[in-house]
Structure 1
């Protein structure tokens, strides 16, 4: 994995509640493009009156923004513009037709003159919101293509009724998101018809089925027509040197296509593919550089600008090294080609951005963990040869998010650990952050939704979860990020996990990081450090992990589906393996009570031993590049779902009316101008998801 570790991805440890609302909850679908600012009481702030499909839209606040000095406000504003400028890139990366679909849908939302309350138009609005939320036509988590609730006939008639000038004028070319072949309405409809209405056409964004070709059978736009996984692996095998101590992150910022029978990389940089959007990102980064907090931060921004201008991955490494070393700046940003989850082979990074400011007070908790990184490494159950003898520069903090974009929005991470190049982490260190205000918004949203009461076995488990569950979750996320991803080392000459573990690398890595957190959350060391009052916090963490991994997270799957998403696979792997391995000793018991199933932890100490054993094995697999062992673990424990348990979980959760996914409307930074000078920056909190998406498309539609 490259650059960022995402745990909202880990957020499904808890599912997000939805505020009771009328059955007809679709927002006004009028073609306005101005997001409105809302004043809401703090207790109700996270709720937004928009729920569609399996999604609840929330908000988050930026506490302390008004108290920042003007320089930092300006810096945050410029960085937020650099973030939003790249959002179109993410759409195109996830599927070549996404921008054409989105622009057509937005033309309908703005220009439709029929009955907006009619069922087919409402179904089209729901579909449009799902596309906005997922940055494309495939589900943001499962990767399965959406099915429209409206007919071909309605869609065709609606498109034909619009002013042709409002529709996309070109169709996607093979290598550029800006369009190639000219299109009229008829050509546009012919192009869109299979995308929207043929469930078998480009059905999965990322296909991890071991019987499929993870490149040719995936719908993402990372590879050109005719490119296969075998060809990709051979292409990068020629580039990679397993003995290179500082390997380049090959393929991170390019599309690999066939030209005249030869594989060619189309690099994503200012003068290449996605150039118009990247040039706009650079423009705002240059402005940000002019108001940097200090020389070190200014140097970091200069290196990021240089990388975007050159497309050279060596420049990306130089930027990451400088970024890791900047630990004093209060304002920070992640901006680039980052996550590799959407590429089953783990080469290509999805574009995303997170802009933040440090929460100094809340950072004390997470800093206490990073300060003991070597102790945690020395006392881990890993094979001695797989331990780092000198853990370098693990810095950690809690941040207040200001804006997110691309693959980080509207569905967001709650923890980040980067950079992901193993050699940079080993030689220069890493940064781990907890997205404090995002976590608080999620915690507020789930409070009192009834799910905890439904899936806890007895009063003792419920009371422990209510008293210690919040702290347990925060500590587990902290340790996942700070000491989890930073732990262990790869044997010399083995190669990177994306080369050795391939399509299983992401799930195995997330499982490894989860297990580090699970192993240590039952360690008295955390009590000694003052991070938790007693081991009851660790017990609450174990209860929650088993409860979620074996049951609650199944609310995200439709009947008959296997587990596809890497983080869900990792949680089921860890929980199911521990359950099976501990059966003989009764470590976790499957219990029936009042006709309902529960998985109850009976021996917490023995469960910790099991977690340590699995952690040792996952690190061995990573250190030695043991593909077959990794595949066996994932396919045996992490993929298949017990249909009876699944049906029961869905039935029990349906009675609670809780959507399994949540995401956020973004705050809006508004500069206060005097002539050409910014004299202040204000924060507005929009409350209309559709309006914000339309505004973004008009303001930041660079591709």
Structure 2
């Protein structure tokens, strides 16, 4: 999912009086009632999402395990409530009441607020102001300068909110305090699921994760999650991604995903994780930018997703996961890479293939394959483990140095190093070298898919930057009909040079260069905009939305009365 950001919590000591005076502040309320309209924005964008049933074969799971899956889905579902609080922060019912039609209400609900995540955060309701870059993590009107000047030791924690006390002074409020009611319900469901687990390591993890939600101390449960090897069911739950915080990139958003492991596919993928140390040594960059040693015990597995909630279900849906993002856990144990094969296939069939038919040179269309798409995505996630996590000057982590550019540069690094890994493994004979062109052409088609997410999305920014870098390097050409053709040799050279550039920016913690590259390369130029307009005219979806839940999976008989 892209890559979430989990760091250890450093809680500051707040006086009880200060905490009692903290009042949550919404990012904004609707500025004026929206007048009914015909031909609303939402109606015009009704085709942006392809609807996909989120199903999986659960017949191999016994009744007790299916009951556990139902509990996990109920726990994940509570992340939707927290996503609304973190994204909008105001009165949801009042907001929805201002929607001019049902299509707008549906799109607002899908976006957990009145901004279109697939279209540069365009307001969905008349009278709504632009989306605050800090979402509801920070008070309305707080400036960066005010934040930097505040003497609050835990202000940069992933798990604190910034609020104002009765005197208007900035204070921090821990997540587990602000969201106590929802988190206690979630923790209870995780503990109930643990009692149903036939896998002891998974049961232990669920109990540890329940404790973590109530304390904001996630490192112990992250370590336990990395040690699990035999669990047939998994859940990713908690405050994970920091993409929603476009002000600083500090604050994590709550999400939940429930997954069923594909044991056979996972066996096929497992061997690739062991190549990380050798691939790290071969990175096309000076030795000091690859001095860290990635964990060689990282897992690479395939799953079918059965439920998305909260931040995972807003805007563009992730098709693979690389966790945890706690740098200390990564250095000690590596990461786990989870490929969501059913969602990946849905996007390939409904979106990538139609895009390729519109924009890829006809003689290169046979090179757009699902196997290549799967590998491109898989090695993107593996590549999050390459490079460097701490700046070479010893002044902190890459995330801390690059701030609001950290997410897009990490995604860009993973994208380009994923292709580097495929190329390197093909040269070693571990992948079919004869099919390498498939990976390059499918990679280009994947860029054309992801740039449609726009500049408000970390993946969109990363893809636009890479697209323009490749264009300047002649990695592909565009014919008079607006079709793109890969130049294999030039694209390989551009891949290596961009890999070195991104790794250097991260290692140096060069915020100014990250900003310069984003400002100059992270933009959609008129020619590409015209080509992307063809995709809209052809009614090709931008992303997918799910029909999901206990009823879709046939598990409603296991729902508790409160969630039926």
The 8 Å contact of residues 363 and 397 in structure 1, kept in 2 or not, is answered as yes
Q: Secondary structure at the match of 1:86?
A: helix
User: Structure 1 residue 463: deviation in Å?
Assistant: 2.0
Structure 1 residues 471, 234: CA separation in 2 closer, same or farther (over 3 Å shift)? Answer: farther
Residue of structure 1 aligned with 2:307, choices 397, 403, 412: 403
The 8 Å contact of residues 84 and 406 in structure 1, kept in 2 or not, is answered as yes
Higher helix proportion (structure 1 or 2): 2
TM-score, scaled relative to structure 1 = 0.68
User: Structure 1 residue 264: deviation in Å?
Assistant: 1.4
Q: How many pairs were matched up?
A: 522
CA radius of gyration, larger in:
1
Residue of structure 1 aligned with 2:127, choices 189, 198, 216: 198
Residue of structure 1 aligned with 2:153, choices 239, 244, 247: 239
1:481-520 aligned at under 5 Å gives the runs 481-490=381-390, 491=392, 493-520=394-421
RMSD of the alignment, in Å? 3.2
The 8 Å contact of residues 552 and 649 in structure 1, kept in 2 or not, is answered as no
5+ long unaligned stretches in structure 1: 7-25, 27-50, 106-120, 149-196, 207-214, 241-248, 558-562, 671-680, 686-694
Structure 1 residues 454, 145: CA separation in 2 closer, same or farther (over 3 Å shift)? Answer: closer
Whether 2:102 is the aligned partner of 1:125: answer yes
Whether 2:525 is the aligned partner of 1:642: answer yes
Whether 2:448 is the aligned partner of 1:534: answer no
Q: Distance in 1 between matches of 2:268 and 2:372?
A: 13
Structure 1 residues 413, 402: CA separation in 2 closer, same or farther (over 3 Å shift)? Answer: same
CA displacement, residues 388-437 of structure 1 (integer Å, 9 cap, x when unaligned):
55321211111121212111126521000011122220122211100122
Structure 1 residues 233, 546: CA separation in 2 closer, same or farther (over 3 Å shift)? Answer: farther
User: Structure 1 residue 75: deviation in Å?
Assistant: 1.9
5+ long unaligned stretches in structure 2: 7-39
Q: Distance in 2 between matches of 1:607 and 1:659?
A: 28
Tell me the equivalent position of 1:480.
Answer: 380
Structure 1 residues 384, 489: CA separation in 2 closer, same or farther (over 3 Å shift)? Answer: farther
Residue of structure 2 aligned with 1:252, choices 158, 161, 170: 158
Structure 1 residues 100, 375: CA separation in 2 closer, same or farther (over 3 Å shift)? Answer: same
Residue of structure 2 aligned with 1:390, choices 293, 299, 309: 293
Whether 2:131 is the aligned partner of 1:225: answer no
Q: Distance in 2 between matches of 1:525 and 1:231?
A: 51
1:260-299 aligned at under 5 Å gives the runs 260-269=167-176, 272-299=177-204
1:98-177 aligned at under 5 Å gives the runs 99-101=92-94, 104=97, 124-142=101-119, 144-148=121-125
Tell me the equivalent position of 1:87.
Answer: 80
Residue of structure 1 aligned with 2:479, choices 591, 599, 607: 591
Tell me the equivalent position of 1:574.
Answer: 466
Tell me the equivalent position of 1:663.
Answer: 545
CA displacement, residues 94-143 of structure 1 (integer Å, 9 cap, x when unaligned):
122262346647xxxxxxxxxxxxxxx9x510001101211111113345
Q: Distance in 2 between matches of 1:523 and 1:362?
A: 22
User: Structure 1 residue 320: deviation in Å?
Assistant: 1.1
The 8 Å contact of residues 321 and 381 in structure 2, kept in 1 or not, is answered as yes
Q: Distance in 2 between matches of 1:250 and 1:366?
A: 37
Whether 2:59 is the aligned partner of 1:58: answer no
Q: Distance in 2 between matches of 1:56 and 1:337?
A: 27
Tell me the equivalent position of 2:213.
Answer: 308
Structure 1 residues 483, 448: CA separation in 2 closer, same or farther (over 3 Å shift)? Answer: closer
Which has the larger displacement, 125-134 or 273-282? Answer: 273-282
Tell me the equivalent position of 2:62.
Answer: 69
Structure 1 residues 458, 666: CA separation in 2 closer, same or farther (over 3 Å shift)? Answer: same
Tell me the equivalent position of 1:349.
Answer: 252
Structure 1 residues 5, 513: CA separation in 2 closer, same or farther (over 3 Å shift)? Answer: farther
Q: Distance in 1 between matches of 2:221 and 2:71?
A: 19
Structure 1 residues 204, 354: CA separation in 2 closer, same or farther (over 3 Å shift)? Answer: same
Tell me the equivalent position of 1:564.
Answer: 456
The 8 Å contact of residues 356 and 401 in structure 1, kept in 2 or not, is answered as yes
Q: Secondary structure at the match of 2:482?
A: strand
Q: Distance in 1 between matches of 2:393 and 2:274?
A: 27
User: Structure 1 residue 265: deviation in Å?
Assistant: 1.4
Q: Distance in 1 between matches of 2:149 and 2:220?
A: 27
Q: Distance in 1 between matches of 2:120 and 2:85?
A: 15
Structure 1 residues 573, 127: CA separation in 2 closer, same or farther (over 3 Å shift)? Answer: same
The 8 Å contact of residues 70 and 555 in structure 2, kept in 1 or not, is answered as no
Q: Secondary structure at the match of 1:521?
A: helix
